[in-house]
Amino acid sequence: MKKINKTALITGINGMDGSHLADFLLTKGYTIYGVERRSSSKNRINTQHLEGKITFLQGDLTDQNSLLRCLKESKPNEVYNLAAQSFVGESWNTPEHTSEVTGLGVLRMLEAIREFDPSIKFYQASSSEMFGRMVENPAKETTPFYPRSPYGVAKLYGHWITKNYRESYNMFACSGILFNHESERRGIEFVTRKITDGVAKIKLGLKDHILLGNLDAKRDWGYGPDYVKAMWLMLQQDIPEDFVIATGNTYSINEFLDITFNHVGITDWHKYIKQDPRFMRPAEVDVLRGDYTKAKQQLNWEPETPFKQWVGQMVDNDIEILKKTI
């Protein structure tokens, strides 16, 4: 495989997407700089294996000068802005912080790029949560937005300011509207990992129930490593455009539970589930489903890993993690 002599700067390097993207870009021969907050530098669970392979820089989306320093130090060809306050449920508790990081943080990075080197290609991690109460199912790039959380609203600002800088300053800036995607590296506070971790603990006799919110919500779920490839493909195009990245299939939380419990041989799983009002959203998003036709046609991208396969991998991974602690 021909190696690519490029440099990438990734914000949110210690997150699920950031670490998977770094893994992918390393296979392409990239030099990689990862931006982490000072407080998160001790939280390298997902990136411990990358120490010595990439360079970690300290920066914060609430501090434009720190972003400018990161650009000057890394001199990147591409910037992938994956950092955010990314937990939707938390955004109702911290709406101002969510707006500062997830929304205005995008503006600060774009301004830093415009000041340092406007030829740098920029990828913004937009979200299916911008569609919220879907006015078209499945949603595509032209579907009107209707966010239903402070997180979704903040992401929408980031999405539109990226488009605005593209059109105002002729910057190569694009957004990937990624629908839900998961992996073994997902944070424990997210419902998918909460379930796989809970199922693993129940299987090993370490727990007797899982507390959840709405079990009827349906999501279009894909596998994280498949989705980071789409991010890269967007920045390899001649013209910057926005793309929906999804599978086109939906599963409810109930169906996710059925698959995870069956994976460990438990068929009568309802007795292990308790619903807790604390995990109900003030404004629920009942269903999210995407149409990735444009990505298939223009990027030659398609989801590769089957749903049941990666869900099973998440459960198996959590069982292995827990066995090491017993």
Is the pLDDT at 86 greater than 90? The verdict is no
pLDDT band at residue 173 using 50, 70 and 90 as cut-offs: very high
Q: What is the pLDDT of residues 107-144, one digit of tens each?
A: 999 999 999 999 999 999 999 999 999 899 999 999 99
Coil, strand or helix at 155:
helix
Whether residues 147 and 263 share a domain: the answer is no
| 214 and 103 in a common domain | no
Other Cβ atoms less than 10 A from the Cβ of 28: the count is 14
Q: Are residues 271 and 152 in the same domain?
A: no
What separation in angstroms does the CA of 155 have from each of 85, 100, 152, 277? 10, 11, 5, 26
Q: What is the pLDDT of residue 43?
A: 83
Tally the domains of the chain. Answer: 2
In a domain, 299, yes or no: no
Question: In a 3-state reduction of DSSP, which class is residue 10?
Answer: strand
Q: Evaluate whether residue 2 is within a structural domain.
A: no
Position 1 pLDDT exceeds 60: no
Across the range 53-67, mean pLDDT stands at 97
pLDDT over 90, % of the chain: 85
Query: What beta strand segments (E) does the chain contain?
Result: 7-11, 31-36, 55-58, 78-81, 121-127, 173-178, 181-182, 210-212, 218-219, 222-223, 243-245, 251-252, 273-275
- Answer whether residue 95 is part of any domain: yes
Q: Do 143 and 101 have their domain in common?
A: yes
Q: Which residues form the domain of 48?
A: 7-181+222-245
Tens of pLDDT, residues 180-234: 999 999 999 899 999 999 999 999 999 999 999 899 999 999 999 999 999 999 9
Angle at 163 between CA 158 and CA 168, to 5 degrees: 120
pLDDT digits (tens, 9 = 90+) for 264-316: 999 999 999 998 887 777 777 788 999 999 999 999 999 999 999 999 999 99
Answer yes or no: is 295 within a domain.
no
Same domain? For 53 and 174 the reply is yes
Compute the distance between CA of residue 15 and CA of residue 44 in angstroms, rounded to an integer: 9
pLDDT tier, 90 (very low <50, low <70, confident <90, very high otherwise): confident
Give a yes or no: residue 228 inside a domain: yes
**Residue 151 covered by a domain:** yes
The reply to whether 35 and 94 lie within a common domain is yes
Is 296 among the domain residues? no
Is pLDDT at 59 greater than 60 in this prediction?
A: yes
pLDDT at 38: 80
Write the CATH number for 205: 3.90.25.10
- 122 and 259 in a common domain: no
Percent of the chain's residues with pLDDT above 70? 98
Mean pLDDT, the chain, whole residue set: 94
Same domain, yes or no, for 121 and 212? no
Decide if pLDDT at 40 tops 70: no
User: Considering the domain boundaries, does residue 156 fall inside one?
Assistant: yes
Count of other CB atoms within 10 angstroms of residue 306: 11
Tell me: do 165 and 214 sit in the same domain.
no
Q: Comparing C-alpha atoms, which of 34, 117, 105, 23 is closest to residue 77?
A: 117
235 and 314 assigned to the same domain: no
Same domain, 154 and 69: yes
DSSP E strand boundaries for 145-287:
173-178, 181-182, 210-212, 218-219, 222-223, 243-245, 251-252, 273-275
Q: What is the mean pLDDT of residues 55-62?
A: 96
Q: Which residue has the tokens 């017993």?
A: 326
Pair (234, 92) in one structural domain: yes
Largest CA distance in the chain: 59
The model's pTM: 0.95
Dump strand ranges (E) for 208-325.
Answer: 210-212, 218-219, 222-223, 243-245, 251-252, 273-275
Q: Are 250 and 39 in contact (CB under 8 A)?
A: no
- CATH code for the domain of 97: 3.40.50.720
* pLDDT, tens only, 93-104: 899 999 999 999
The mean pLDDT value for 58-69 works out to 97
